[in-house]
Amino acid sequence: MMIKRTESAPGMGIRAYIALGLTVMTLLFTASFFYFMSMAREVSVSGTRTYGLFMTLAESDKLADSRNMTRLRDAESALAALPALTAKSAVPETSAALAELSAAIAELANSQPVTDEMLLQLRRTATLAHEFENRLLMGFLLLGAGLALLFGLLRLHLARPLQSIMVFLNQLGTGSTSQPPKHSFITELRNISAALENLGTYLSLATVRSQKLASEHDHFQKMSLVDGLTGVGNRRAFDDKLESLWLHALQTGTPLALIMLDVDTFKRYNDSLGHQAGDECLRRIAAAMSRAARSTDVCARYGGEEFALLLPGADAATAQAVAARVHAEVAREQLPHPSSPVGNMVTVSLGVSSHMPQEEQKEESQMLVRQTDSALYAAKAAGRNRTCVYGHIS
């Protein structure tokens, strides 16, 4: 049985598919990395600049406040010394102004911690911006490592097992010797591999059984075409060969000859010597006829004590020469036949005919059989132990 090999449809392998998906993910990952890193860098730089500018401004304000505090304290000292120099009637107003100035100085002194707190928060913000940049970089590195690990795991436990399964299925389809598919860590793929391995084992056993059945069929087919007693072809083999050789002769324009042999007075041989001796006689006659035949000739047992010899490409003269060799080989066997009216040894009668095929019909090939059988009848009627050629019968 011929297996039609189907061409695979154009597509993408599992490895290429996974590689393409991970390539797209890598590109997206790279674009996201540069985008977020750029944003983190801008935040970090902006925070650092803001902190630097505010710290400069705060230092400037602090320095100005310090100078103002010095001036105010000097003014407070001067105001405190005024009552001794001025009239006693202005003391209440001076004391009120001095109290107000002292309150302003205290308020100005208490506002400094707020500025320090803001500086502290801005510094912390700048530090967090730097840490965010570093942590974002570390996160992307971990994500990249995770993608690489994912690619390796998918290739090891998904792509390779699937590819080995496809190779195994292709080998099963072509009937070639196949290695079992690789096992995967994934349960479903492992179960599929095990099922395919069992299928391969079953198909191997089925193939062995099929080959054994085919061999036995060929053996029985050959046995059905062989005569069990003599080992030459049987009547069925003769009919098949006659038809095929007739067609070949018709196509090549060559003649086809036929020799038919009959053991003389074989019934008397069986009656006098027994059937076992008769069977042995037939075996030796078949062997003698086979020895006399050419390498291209086909020998068969036609029925009972009759044998036939098909001679492709032989004319009447060639077939007559082969018939003479058959007589000589039978004589060499020296088979005693005490009850024969022809002689003391077993003899045979032969009929010969050669014909150039003109038509393919089966009836045309049977005409060759009828002509040869007519020649055989003439040989037996003429006294046996002789050869008669059809068309030359006197």
In the three-class reduction of DSSP (H, G, I as helix; E, B as strand; rest coil), residue 312 is classed as: strand
Q: What is the pLDDT of residue 2?
A: 43
**In angstroms, rounded to a whole number, what is the distance separating the alpha carbons of residues 98 and 75?**
9
How many CB atoms within 10 Å of residue 126?
A: 21
Q: Long-range pairs for 165-169 at CB < 8 Å and ≥24 separation? A: 165/189, 165/192, 165/193, 165/196, 168/196, 168/200, 169/196
Structural contact between residues 286 and 273, judged by C-beta atoms closer than 8 angstroms: no
Residues in the chain: 394
Q: Which two tokens stand for residue 32?
A: 């996201």
> What do you get for the CA distance between the two ends of the chain, in Å?
56
Q: What is the pLDDT of residue 80?
A: 67
Helix axes 14-81, 91-110, angle to 10 degrees: 160
Beta bridge partners of 263: 348
Report yes or no on whether pTM surpasses 0.85: no
Residues of the chain with pLDDT under 50: 1-6, 9, 87
**pLDDT tens-digit map of 254-277:** 999 999 999 999 999 999 999 999
DSSP state of 144: H
Q: What is the pLDDT of residue 33?
A: 73
Burial of 283 (0-12, 13-18, 19+ CB in 10 A): middle
Provide the residue type at 133 as one letter.
E
Q: What is the pLDDT of residue 99?
A: 72
Q: What is the pLDDT of residue 4?
A: 47
Q: Which two tokens stand for residue 190?
A: 């492992």
Q: What is the pLDDT of residue 392?
A: 77
Pairing of β 256-263 and β 306-312: antiparallel
**In angstroms, rounded to a whole number, what is the distance separating the alpha carbons of residues 133 and 171?**
55
Q: How far is CA 255 from CA 111, 357, 368, 375, in A?
A: 135, 7, 11, 18
Q: What is the pLDDT of residue 246?
A: 94
**In angstroms, rounded to a whole number, what is the distance separating the alpha carbons of residues 239 and 225?**
10
